[in-house]
Structures are given as C-alpha cells and as structure tokens.
Structure 1
C-alpha cells in the first residue's frame, strides 16, 4: 500500500477535507446520539415529566461515559494517521488493532464500576425519589453495553484516520437507523417504557460494533493481535488517550454541573434541560465531531512535514465552525416552540428550552473554536494543553457562572452561565492554538 494511497489528506483542498470529514463525522455522531434523542421523544409521549427528568439525569452519566470512548478514539486517530502520513501502513494496522483492544478493555472495567455505583452517582447529580429509581433502572440495562460502543467508535476512528469518511460515518449511522425502528416498538407498542428505551440503546450499539468490525476488516486496516504490538503501543496510546480522555470528560462534567445547578429549580427545569441537552448534542454534532474529524487531517500533514497545510486546516476548521453554528442556531430559534410542544414541555421546562435555543446555542461557535484548538494540541504533541483548555471552561468557569447566574435569574440563568463559559474559554483556546500552529511547527517541520 503506497503512501499516496493512504495519506489522503496531504494533497488537495484542506477546506474540502475539513468539510467532508466533519460533516460525515457529525452525521455519524448525530445518528449515534439520535438513539438517546428518539428514546427521550418516545418516553415524552407517555406524558410524564418525571420520566423525562429521569432520562435527563441518566443521559448526563451516559454522555460522560461516551466521552471516554471519544478520548480513546482521538488517540487512535492521532497515532494511526501519523503512521500513515509517515508512509508506514503496516505499523498503522498494528496500532489500530491494539487501540481497539485497549478501548474495549477499558470501557468494560468502567461499565462494571458504573453499574455498581449508579445509584450513588445519580444521587450526587441531584436525582431523588422516583426520578432516581427510574434513572438507575435505565442505566442498569444500558451501561453494560459500553464495550460495544467503544468497539464501534474505535473502528470509526481507524477508518477516519485512513480517510475513509463515508465508511466511518456509516459505522455510527447504522445504530441510529436501527433505533428508528426499535424505539417505538419497544417503548410504545410493547409498552416497555424506560426499560424498552435502554434495550433499544443496547441493540443499536451491538449493530454499530458489528458494522465497525466489518468495514475495518474489509478495508485491511487491522493486523492480527500480538502481545508485542500491545506492549509497544501502550505507552504512545496512553500518552495521548489519558489526557484526551481527561479533556473529553470535562464537557460532560460541565453538563453535570449544569444539571446539578438546574436541579435547584425543580424537576420541570431539569426536564427542559434534558431536552435541551439532547438537542444540543444532536444539532451540534458537527461541533462535537470537530476534534476527531480534523485530527486525521492535522496528523497526516504533520507526519508528512507540511506545516503550511496544518495551519490552513486550522483556519478552515474555524471558518467551518462559524458557518455551521450560524445555520444550526437559526434552525433552533425557529423550532424552539414546536419542539417544546412535541415533547410536552410547559412552564419552566419550556422556558429553559427557549433560552437554550435563543441564547445558549449561539455560544457553540466558541465551543467549536475550543475543539479545533484541542485537535491541534492532541495531534501535535501537546495533549495536556487540550486538557487544561477544556477544564478551564468546565471546571473553573462553569460552576460559578451557572450557580451564580442561576441564583440571580433562576433556571434561564443556568443556560446563560453555560453560554458565557463557552465564549470565554473558546476565545482563549483559539488564540493559543493559532499561536502554536503558526509558530512552533515551522521550527520542527521536516522536509516534505
């Protein structure tokens, strides 16, 4: 396999690569989160806000756990794309296999831990009474499928690193397509309610894992597992994966802070935030996909010693982010009231969703800038910088802003606090990221 056949991002328009990889990545990611969105929609048809609130608490935990897989996915993309950019496809295959094994094993251990502690975790999040019991029931069924989603997402990462955008997208899209069918069947027709929603997630993740293995193996991107490869890959994989996971879990931690702050204003406010959170993940799939989607572009060009293309990819990703956010924001403003009616939200719940659509959604332009900077840091040897950038927002800024503005403006103030944190952290990270790619790389580039 020649370098030209594998390092696809080192030639051609960087903007085209950014658009194709991000849109396909966002479609795949959005379809994966469509499973949760559809489950919440069908549960809302039962007419009980307490069930919506319960799934809101459970979704916060689920998002945290999926973010761990995203962190390991980023490590796989960085290592595989770098090896391909250096013209070493055999090494890339060995790294791909080892990375997938590590991801499945780590998520298996996490799944057992969360299963045992799920009641305590939900209580710490502010869930009480029937809402806590329902959320714990949901997690009890769904959480043990974490190794399946780790396998599917790792497979998609390997495909994305090799430039197989459409196949990477189809890995996660298949799960969402299955959910379109099984959600109403299990939740409504078989009258299984919340347990049915959890079962639908397990089924969709199983399909996603099988699809991932099929396409990765079919493209010849795996090598037979070998203890030596696992040993050799461990240090570089963990060197990126651990800070990348720490970076990725900051976002769900920030969401946990938001739901904890919102819980101060009652279950109705939490129900509104639950719908807003699903809408946020589904609508801004392109933003959440940015780090993984452009990581392969940056990694290949860095591996090939092309700093000018790295810089152009960074700028193009910021442009894409601004345009994408503007379009989605306008759609959310237009659809806020119809969505509130579709989910049966009234009073404070509807007000929270309205504030997110009109105020919070616009701040995701800056969230995208943060993720673009993270992609540069993760793929250019500074993963700790990405960790610091994310935790500045979600650890240092989110709590005082969400609780503080919430105390002044009630539930809508929590949404305003999230928006302010996004703007401040995103602006700072984008500036630092640009200084990094426009300065250091010229000094470390090797001849193309």
Structure 2
C-alpha cells in the first residue's frame, strides 16, 4: 500500500511577490487560453454572417455566466477552507475538507441546473432577447446547461490544486479544456456544418476534458482526497457555507451587472448587443491576469492566515496591488493601439464597431479599479470577512452599474452605456482597498492581544 504524500504549506515562507507572480502567471496562462477560445468561438459564429447568431451567443453567455459565477464562488470557498487547513499543518483535515468541498459543489450545481432548465424562456426574455435571437439563444442554452455540473466540479478540482500551491497543475486543467475547445469548435461549426449547435457541442466536450484532467491530478497525482467522516463533513460544510454563500452572492453580482448592461444596450439594436458581446469576451481575455491574480492571492492568504503569519498577509496585498497597476497600464495601452483591428477581426460595423473601439480606447483603463476590487474581495473571502466582498460587489453591480449605464445611454447612446459601465467601478475599487487594509490592521491587533 502506498503512503499518502505529506502536504506542506509552501506559501508560508519565501518572497510573497514571487508567490504572487508565479501563481498569477500559471493562472493567467490557463485563463487566457480558456477566454481566447471563447473569443474564437464568437469569431467563428461571426464568420457565418448572421448578426442574430452573435447576439444569441451574447444573451446565452450572459445567462450561463450566472452559473459559472456560482461555480467560481464555490471554488473560492474550496480554496479558502482547504488552504487554511494546509497552513495549520493538519493534513488529514485538509484531505477530508477537499472531499467535503467536491461533494457540496456537485450537489449544488446539479440542483441549480435542474431549477434553471424550465425557466429558460422567461430568463432570456428578461434579458431582452426577442424572436429568432431568443429561440437561438434558448437552443444554445439547452445544449450547454446540463454540462454546468462538469464545469463546477472542474473548477473545484482546480481550486484544490491552487490550495496545494500546485499552480502548474491548475493551469493544465484549464489549458486542456481550452485546447479541446480550440480543436472541436471549428470542426463542429464549419467542417460538420453544425453552426451554433456545433459551438454548444464543443463546449460540453471541453468540460468533460476539464473534469478528467482535474480528477487525474487530485485523485491520482496528489492523492489529495479522503472520504469525510460525518463530524468532519458537518464542520467542513459549515466552514464552506460561511465563505461559500457570501462568495456565491459576491460572484452572482457580476452577471447581474452584465445583464443590466445587456438589457440597456439592447435598446440600440442587435448590432449594439453584438458589440457588447465582443467586449464582454474581450474583457476576460485581456484582463485574465487580474482574474488569475484574485485566484492566486486566495491560497497565499489562506495558508499564511492558517500559519498566523500576519506580516506576510500585508506584504501579499501590497504586492498584488502593485502587480494590478502595472498589468492594467500595459493591457490598456495595447487595447487602445489595436482597437480598430479588433473590431475588424469580428467583422463589426456601425454601432458594434463603435462600442468595441470606444471600450478599448477609453473604458479599459477603469480595470485598474476593477482589479483592485478583485484583489480586495479575494482578501475578504480568505481572511474571514466574506460579507465585505458581497456588499462591495453588489454595490458595484447595482449602484455602480444601473444608474451609470442608464443615464449614459440616455445622454450618449450605446457609447454612454459602455462609459457608464467603466465609471461606476471607481468608487468601489478605492473603498475595497481601504477596507482591506483596515481588516489587516484589525487582524494584526487581534493577534497582538492574544
């Protein structure tokens, strides 16, 4: 019988900046691959020459993003719960918490998928989809929705790898799924002439690849799983819920904000929606480093909190914010230079091209504040203050989106909607960073008093 490998908290020593950069870099590569494939998917559909197909993908993605956001929330809870156990040095507890997390993720995602299926018509109508565009969006969702548990469990497995400090392993999980989609997308859409259905089939098969690679890494490579005992399962579920419920609420806020933008921009026609569909795919690909950074910070903070290394918590946050500033400035510069090229690549014309170029040149810089908010939210989730991230994200996605895009649209049309989307985040980004350092000060004070 093979012995179970010993787990070490690798983030409790060494340079915090090095850990932040390494984890962000490996996370970015995987995420960029996933988002690039998502952009290619829309690019292929755009090549079919029917604007309603691109608009249908936009509506379907907005709806499916709710489920992906819940899966992200569950994976945040997984990383926070398990990385703390690793940092404290209790290997068996960490393994049983890993088992608890995967069971909870599977059950929750299956339940939510079953609930959503009969409501597709109503939800798409609520987003502003009409006539043929609505029926195409519904068809796409009907194919892809049953695979939501696969992506949820896949994200959970990837979160466990990050909690262990295996950034490369987590990267291979997402890279594998991205490569599968890159190969299958053109095959199904063009070679087999399946169009929108082909994009949906490729999506589902890629998620099977995601789960397979993650399962191999966790169960066979790291052997990081133990069947949880009832008492440990209850304890793990409580810890998971304490972080998971606010984290889910936090993440669901983002698609609520996106849905608000979609419904307001829908007033300017399918071209404007198609332009926003390109922008909403461009955002995760261009700013994948920020999404990866928020995922990278979690296990580093979690392990150091478990080890009670408060000095390293503060330096991790400072290093993360420095990285955010440098990254956003570089990406904004590149997007501004290539804005017209990006619009042409998607065969965008008129209002669609205007929306894309305006975002790249003017609005992309607002991601300095978005990135700061991502990092602050990751800190709150892993330091035991998840409700702070819930309040900030909901504030951003409601007060920081709805009035801004509504008045922006009223005064400046489709461009104004995009400008409002960017402006609304500024105050919340600043508030997030301020609160985060307040929380770190509070934790340090509590440590000194005990």
**Quick check: TM above 0.5?**
yes
Match in the other structure for 1:406: 409
Match in the other structure for 2:212: 210
Match in the other structure for 1:423: 426
Match in the other structure for 1:180: 182
Structure 1 residues 53-64: aligned runs within 5 Å:
53-64=55-66
Q: Is the 8 A contact 2:97 2:228 kept in 1?
A: no
Match in the other structure for 2:108: 106
Match in the other structure for 2:82: 80
Q: How far apart are residue 79 of structure 1 and its match?
A: 0.8
Q: Residue 249 of structure 2: SS of its match in structure 1?
A: helix
Q: How far apart are residue 58 of structure 1 and its match?
A: 0.8
- From 391, 395, 404, the equivalent of 2:394 is 391
CA RMSD of aligned residues (A): 1.8
Cα gap change, 1:178/1:322 in structure 2, threshold over 3 Å: closer, same or farther? same
Q: Distance in 2 between matches of 1:135 and 1:63?
A: 13
Q: Distance in 2 between matches of 1:119 and 1:281?
A: 27
- Residue 326 (1) aligns with residue 336 (2): no
Match in the other structure for 2:92: 90
- From 118, 121, 124, the equivalent of 2:123 is 121
- Residue 11 (1) aligns with residue 13 (2): yes
Mean CA deviation greater in 225-234 or 408-417: 225-234
Match in the other structure for 1:143: 145
Q: Is the 8 A contact 2:4 2:223 kept in 1?
A: no
Q: Residue 289 of structure 1: SS of its match in structure 2?
A: helix
1:249-281 deviation line (CA, Å, top 9, x unaligned): 111111111111111111100000000100101
Q: How far apart are residue 33 of structure 1 and its match?
A: 3.0
Match in the other structure for 1:167: 169
- From 357, 360, 364, the equivalent of 1:361 is 364
Q: Is the 8 A contact 2:5 2:223 kept in 1?
A: no
Cα gap change, 1:170/1:394 in structure 2, threshold over 3 Å: closer, same or farther? same
Q: How far apart are residue 31 of structure 1 and its match?
A: 2.5
Q: Residue 14 of structure 2: SS of its match in structure 1?
A: coil
- From 343, 346, 368, the equivalent of 2:346 is 343
Match in the other structure for 2:303: 300
- Segments of structure 2 that go 5 or more residues without pairing to the other structure are none
Mean CA deviation greater in 230-239 or 23-32: 23-32
Q: How far apart are residue 230 of structure 1 and its match?
A: 2.7
Q: Distance in 2 between matches of 1:221 and 1:236?
A: 19
Q: How far apart are residue 296 of structure 1 and its match?
A: 0.5
Match in the other structure for 1:221: 224
Q: Distance in 2 between matches of 1:74 and 1:254?
A: 20
Q: How far apart are residue 169 of structure 1 and its match?
A: 0.9
Q: Is the 8 A contact 1:305 1:446 kept in 2?
A: no
Match in the other structure for 1:36: 38
Q: Residue 425 of structure 2: SS of its match in structure 1?
A: helix
Q: Distance in 1 between matches of 2:383 and 2:373?
A: 15
Cα gap change, 1:72/1:154 in structure 2, threshold over 3 Å: closer, same or farther? same
- Segments of structure 1 that go 5 or more residues without pairing to the other structure are none
Q: How far apart are residue 289 of structure 1 and its match?
A: 2.5
Q: How far apart are residue 227 of structure 1 and its match?
A: 4.1
Structure 1 residues 238-253: aligned runs within 5 Å:
238-253=241-256
Q: Distance in 1 between matches of 2:285 and 2:13?
A: 32
Q: Is the 8 A contact 2:6 2:91 kept in 1?
A: no
Match in the other structure for 2:69: 67
Q: How far apart are residue 3 of structure 1 and its match?
A: 12
Q: How far apart are residue 163 of structure 1 and its match?
A: 0.3
Q: How far apart are residue 41 of structure 1 and its match?
A: 1.1
Q: How far apart are residue 4 of structure 1 and its match?
A: 9.3
Match in the other structure for 1:441: 443
Q: Distance in 2 between matches of 1:187 and 1:446?
A: 61
Structure 1 residues 242-321: aligned runs within 5 Å:
242-321=245-324
Match in the other structure for 1:232: 235
Q: Distance in 1 between matches of 2:33 and 2:447?
A: 38
Q: How far apart are residue 32 of structure 1 and its match?
A: 2.8
Q: Distance in 1 between matches of 2:4 and 2:320?
A: 28
Q: Is the 8 A contact 2:23 2:296 kept in 1?
A: yes
Q: Distance in 1 between matches of 2:227 and 2:326?
A: 43
- Residue 152 (1) aligns with residue 134 (2): no
Q: Distance in 2 between matches of 1:408 and 1:2?
A: 63
1:114-164 deviation line (CA, Å, top 9, x unaligned): 221111111100010111010000000001101100111000000001100
Q: Distance in 1 between matches of 2:149 and 2:314?
A: 36
